[in-house]
Amino acid sequence: MASTQFQPIQGMSDIAPPDIALWQMIENRAREIFARYCFEEVRTPVLEKTELFSHSLGETTEVVTKEMYTLEDRGGRQLSLRPEGTAGVIRYIAGSGEAANNRLFYLGSMFRCERPQAGRKRQFHQIGVEAIGAPNPLADAEVIALQVHLLAAWGLEGAKVRLNTIGLPEDRAAVIKGLREAIRPHLNELPEDAQQRFKTNVLRLLDSKDEAVQKVVAKVPPVIEFMSAESRAYLDAVIKTLKQLEIDVEVDASLVRGLDYYVHTVWEVVHGSLGAQNALSGGGRYRIEVGKKTFDGVGFAMGVERVITALEANGIGAAQFAPAPPVFIVSLGEAALNENLLLLQMLRQRGVACEMELSDRKVKAQMKRANKTGAKQVIIRGDTELEKGIFVLKDMKEGTQREVELPELMELL
RNA sequence: GUGGGUGUAGCUCAGUUGGUUAGAGCGUCAGGUUGUGAUCCUGAAUGUCGCGGGUUCAAAUCCCGUCACUCACCCCA
């Protein structure tokens, strides 16, 4: 029934078997790799004060102005479901002082109330890291290395890292001014909405998809030209270190980021399979103020749904990570059912995954169910076997079966 | 927020210029004798044709609205 009454709300989905196996693989391997880079997990609340996000992401960013799920609690406080993970982690660190590890990772749901499309859900999942510390090109390169390592651990091929700098906050005015001056002569070549953005957010013109805009942007010098020597040297150092580490990146002067907290290095990982939302990850160095404290750090967030799309395009799917099929126990008669219940428990305690039919159904029905679970081995024990103290062990693939005693059964499973 | 496409059984879809009890494949369930699955054979069940309204003697089919899915813009992971 195509009824809406059992569907989750728009832009949100149930993640369930068999697909869940791929999610688990992604999370498990991420944990392994994070451990090697000495990042530890943090789980922050999904609900935070709205101002935490508006301050750190920027009051005027689209995410804050249009996309947050915001609500008022009974005390009249403005709260929002987190649209990203960094702000909450920084708040945690700010509150923990010296005690907090400055290398943290997180994974969990994020919420943005946008129109869903390919690679964009309203509840989506991110895996991210934050390495807190003063700006240091080596730290940026290390985090990019971690990210590339992670992609490899998942078996993902064909991903590209695009890298750029957006410079220091002090550079920003110069960049905007320089960009405006460079574009102004071509202003009449731009469509109307782009002319609007020329005033409100010139940087955004750089990564516009509009052909007319791209034509103009191609004539404009790269943004680093407008930046201080310090900013340029920082980017060069990051690039040099990545080269040493033999990590392939593509420096792309048109890459910009939407959140206000970014400084210096920014990057994204793109993959051809993704449709219009072609970035499966976004990262960068940032500077965030929480209360009177300022935090410098570098990190990234990967969209798990997008990673999955890319993996599937690589032929990597949930089926490859499905749990091993259980052993199935078939009973006949009440006495055998009870005895088999004990057997079931014993096997489970020995580490064997197994399942059995708990109601008194026909052998045929039980076998059918065993087959459906994918069981390779089936133990059949009815009253006859019970009397003889044996078990019938059937190999489902071969279709053969033989009688065994308990010690041998244990041996075989 | 704006625009395009789609919405028929659990799933994938057919349904001709509006015309009688709406179909297929897969899946499900039951049989093919006594305690054996998958294969094979036989049979069965299942649809407010997304929802609401309108046009018509007659609507799954045409019109309007609405909801949802999907893709794109925008923005972002």
CATH 3.20.20.140 correct for A4-168+227-319: no
**Omega cis (within 30) before A191:** no
Both tokens of residue A157? Answer: 């091929």
DSSP string, A324-335: PPPEEEEEESHH
Residue A188, token pair as written in the block: 């009449």
A4-168+227-319 and A324-412 share one fold:
no
Grouping H, G, I as helix, E, B as strand and the rest as coil, residue A15 is coil
Angle at A206 between CA A202 and CA A208, to 5 degrees: 100
Say how far A368 CA is from B42 C1', in Å. Answer: 19
Q: Which of residues 208-237 of A touch strand B (CB under 7 A)?
A: 208-210
The nt closest to A332 (CA vs C1′) is B35
Handedness of CA A121, A123, A127, A133 (dihedral sign): positive
Closest-approach nucleotide to residue A62, Cα vs C1': B75
The reply to whether A301 Cβ lies less than 7 angstroms from strand B is yes
Per CATH, the number for A324-412 is: 3.40.50.800
Q: pTM to 2 decimals?
A: 0.91
- CA–CA separation, A286 vs A56, rounded Å? 10
d(CA A226, CA A221): 9
pLDDT for A4 equals 61
pLDDT computed for residue A1 by the predictor: 36
Who among residues 86-125 of A has its Cβ near strand B, under 7 Å?
A: 112, 114-121, 124
Q: Which nucleotide's C1' sits nearest to the alpha carbon of A364?
A: B36
Helix %, strand %, coil % of chain A (to 5):
45, 25, 30
Q: How many residues does chain A have?
A: 413
| Domain locations along chain A | 4-168+227-319, 324-412
Instruction: Give me the CA A368–C1' B33 separation in Å, rounded.
Output: 19
Nucleotides of B under 7 A from a protein CB: 1-3, 7-11, 28-31, 35-38, 47-48, 50, 67-77
pLDDT tens digits for A199-256?
Answer: 888 888 888 888 888 888 888 898 889 999 999 999 999 999 999 999 999 999 889 8
Nearest to A161 by CA among A173, A175, A151, A171: A151
pLDDT < 70 positions in chain A: 1-5
Which residues of chain A (53-92) touch nucleic strand B at CB < 7 A? 61-63, 67, 84
Amino acid A413: pLDDT? 80
The pLDDT of residue A2:
44
Nucleic strand B near CB of residue A393 (< 7 Å): no
The answer to whether the C-beta of A3 is closer than 7 A to strand B is: yes
Output the CA–CA distances (angstroms, integers) from residue A309 to A33, A109, A313, A316, in the order listed: 21, 17, 6, 9
Check: CB of residue A125 under 8 Å from CB of residue A305. yes
Angle at A115 between CA A109 and CA A215, to 5 degrees: 110
